[in-house]
Structure 1
Amino acid sequence: MKRKLLLCLSLVAMMMTGCVDQMNVEDVTLTLILGLDLDEEDHLVVYMSSPVFNKEAKVKEEKVEVKAVTVRDSRELFDTTVMALTSGSKTQLILIGKKLLKRKNWIDYIDAYYRDPKNTVTTRVVAVDGPVSEVIFYRPQDKPRLPLYLANLVDTASRRNVTVKTSLQEFHEETTEKGMTASITEMKKTDKIMLTGTALLDNQSRYKLSITPKENKLLRILQNKTKGDFPFTISVPLKSNGRDKHWLSFGTSNIKVKTKVKYDNHFIFDTNVKMRIAITERLFPFNVRKDTAKLQKSIETKLQKDFERLIKKTQTASIDPFGFGIYARAYSYPEWKKVQNQWGKAFSKADINVKVSVTIGGMGTIK
């Protein structure tokens, strides 16, 4: 009898442990968007967007701006103005102004999100081309709440490979990995918010350059991250009918990437990209059935030039967002070990040979 009683009491105690530190949602200010930027005097400005659960409130979203020394310090300042205790456990996005991204050691400001176990590390890291305040205080009339709108915008664009989607956890991995440099989503506010592509950072996590949505697809392929959709619209180099440009659209869901490494006083990377595509749009007369090989070759030539242009751009900036350094470490470790702390410089001198092989697997329902 005593044993049964003790067992029942133990079960009740176990069930109650989850309720000890419970807090009503009305008593918490959930930071769904955190913004970090610098003012005109280069002082840190922290922004917060959180939902309002009060029935009497007409505006269901609360936005606050404070000047603080650190992100943790800003929480105390937020608590002096918001109605409930500030929490970062549900943060969806961290918006970082490009002005701050160019500063050395800016990454120290997000230390609290890694150190405090109550914070989430699935937060999306986003670079803002312009003042963060323009994004935070934007109130679109035809969109849902800003945190939901921006989170869905990043997720959808990532599935179409228009931009990368980098969580705090992934960002930490990329910034601590010597064999590659980090890349994060980039957005801009004009008359509306739009994703402009991807911001590429250097080995000290400072902003280096931006790439377009079209270039981002090439980035993801070279990273061997080929999930999602890869729709392309390109001008193929065909000479026919006196036309200068021959526009063609195609999609591919089957991409295979293989990279080999050699070393001969510098690193040499040979990357083979195999793509099986389906034509979705063709704005010029062409007999695809008869001249399949000719069209495949022209697509390969165009894509290969695009890959080479993107690689050249990153080598000039001495950054490696593709992760070629990871291959160098895996297959040529003795040589990699000598340059691991200056990989950007070594990568800028490397030979990157990309060979594209295209197979047309479909041309649509009409000839």
Structure 2
Amino acid sequence: MTKKLFAVFITCLALLALTGCKDQNLIENLTLSLVIGMDLNEQNEFEVSISSPVFNKEAKDKEEEFQVTSTTLRKSRDEFDKVVLGSTAGGKAELILVGKKLMRHPGWATILDALYRDPKNTVTPRLVMVDGPVYDIIRLSPKDKPRLPLYLMKVIDMAYVRNVTVRTTLQQFYRHHKEKGMTSAITEIGLKGRDIQILGTALLDDREKYKLTISSTETKLLNMMKQPGKGAFPLTLQLPEFKSSLRFLPTNQLSFNTFSVKTRKKARYDRGKFRFDVNIKMAIFLTERLFPIDMRKETRALERYIESELERQFADFIRKIQAAKIDPVGFGMYARAYAYPQWKKVEDDWGEEFADAEVNVKVDVEIQGMGAMK
């Protein structure tokens, strides 16, 4: 009898630990906002749009899109509840799309407060800027592509692997927003016909206002100067040391790829300004060469030509961001680490200080492969 009572007692304890189903929500009755869009309309009214998958078997369109005018991101949920088929469920967003028109206003990032404050929301959605109306992207439903969230993430992730653009999550954007020694860089996309296209990388200032867009080549230079992660850095250079043999095509071009980039940065304060030394070392593999050269005898000479051209491009890029008074590389963090007393005086106006800084980039190239022919 005692054993039976003990078994009943253990069974009751196990039942108490089971999750109840009183407040269950069927997925068919939920509206999951996988993509959230924010933009300004022609009247400069704040608009919020969402894209949600449809799980109803009878529905021909597997994606539903809605757009409302609101005053805050959280209040827009009340407006969506008036038109969506199911109960709006938060915390499932994969992408946050922000219109360039909205990003031209300093301080726009305060709108994101609801996404950070709600513990149900994750901080892993990718933040993306859209050149053009955001709702044009939200309501895109190409028949030869997967669902919009998967389509967008695949395009961005593949571009990021090739260092064509950056990949910035909501958490990283918040960190950059609070970091005084670095400004934000996010992916910029647009529509080309019915296809989504990576336009480059959008650079923002210390108030998260859009400043300029850099190309895929400049994005690779940016990623090289930061802490290079995994991925390839394919580049094509036009070397002025060689003459072009064709009128319609410059044949003094060379392409290479590198998977190994090591970057070291140092900072100091000298003679009234911050000075930064950036040393970049890379092992490259030639993938294309349109001009004649004896690779057996002139390998080192070719390496020097490549180093010289890369250093010129790095210098041009540095001048470009200094003119915009932004620091997407994060030189300010090194200024704080190596020259804290001087940094402390200018931390609230780092963009102005960095514009007057001296940045020297030194590139060390080693050709480790040249393909199947010399």
| TM norm structure 1 | 0.96
Deviations 1:134-189 (A, max 9, x none): 21122223211211101111111111110000000111011110110011100111
Equivalent position of 2:370 in the other structure: 363
- What is the DSSP-based 3-state SS (H/G/I as helix, E as strand, rest coil) of the residue aligned with 2:296? coil
Per-residue deviation, 1:241 = 7.0
RMSD (Å), alpha carbons: 1.6
Of 115, 138, 141, which residue of structure 1 is paired with 2:140? Answer: 138
Equivalent position of 1:35 in the other structure: 37
Distance 1:100 1:241 in 2: 45
Equivalent position of 2:263 in the other structure: 257
Within 5 Å, which residues of 2 pair with 1:249-328? 249-264=255-270, 265-328=272-335
Per-residue deviation, 1:238 = 2.3
Change (3 A) 1:218 1:315: same
Distance 1:25 1:79 in 2: 16
Distance 2:251 2:266 in 1: 35
Equivalent position of 1:225 in the other structure: 228
- What is the DSSP-based 3-state SS (H/G/I as helix, E as strand, rest coil) of the residue aligned with 2:238? strand
Distance 2:312 2:325 in 1: 20
Equivalent position of 1:96 in the other structure: 98
Equivalent position of 1:200 in the other structure: 203
Say whether the 8 Å CA contact 2:228–2:263 is kept in structure 1: no
Equivalent position of 1:337 in the other structure: 344
Q: Percent identity?
A: 48
Change (3 A) 1:323 1:7: farther
- What is the DSSP-based 3-state SS (H/G/I as helix, E as strand, rest coil) of the residue aligned with 1:71? coil
Equivalent position of 1:79 in the other structure: 81
- What is the DSSP-based 3-state SS (H/G/I as helix, E as strand, rest coil) of the residue aligned with 2:145? coil
Per-residue deviation, 1:247 = 1.3
Per-residue deviation, 1:71 = 1.0
Per-residue deviation, 1:105 = 2.1
Within 5 Å, which residues of 2 pair with 1:53-68? 53-68=55-70
Q: Which segments of structure 1 move beyond 6 Å, counting only runs of 4 or more?
A: none
Say whether the 8 Å CA contact 2:244–2:252 is kept in structure 1: no
Within 5 Å, which residues of 2 pair with 1:169-184? 169-184=171-186
Stretches of structure 2 that go unaligned for 5 or more consecutive residues are none
- What is the DSSP-based 3-state SS (H/G/I as helix, E as strand, rest coil) of the residue aligned with 2:17? helix
Per-residue deviation, 1:9 = 3.0
Query: How many residues get paired?
Result: 366
- The one-letter code of the counterpart of 1:223 is K
Of 49, 55, 65, which residue of structure 1 is paired with 2:51? Answer: 49
- The one-letter code of the counterpart of 1:118 is K
Distance 1:313 1:353 in 2: 14
Stretches of structure 1 that go unaligned for 5 or more consecutive residues are none
Change (3 A) 1:88 1:283: farther
- The one-letter code of the counterpart of 2:236 is T
- What is the DSSP-based 3-state SS (H/G/I as helix, E as strand, rest coil) of the residue aligned with 2:59? coil
Distance 1:41 1:344 in 2: 32
| TM norm structure 2 | 0.94
Within 5 Å, which residues of 2 pair with 1:6-45? 6-16=9-19, 19=21, 21-45=23-47
Say whether the 8 Å CA contact 1:237–1:245 is kept in structure 2: no
Of 215, 218, 227, which residue of structure 2 is paired with 1:215? Answer: 218
Distance 2:227 2:303 in 1: 22
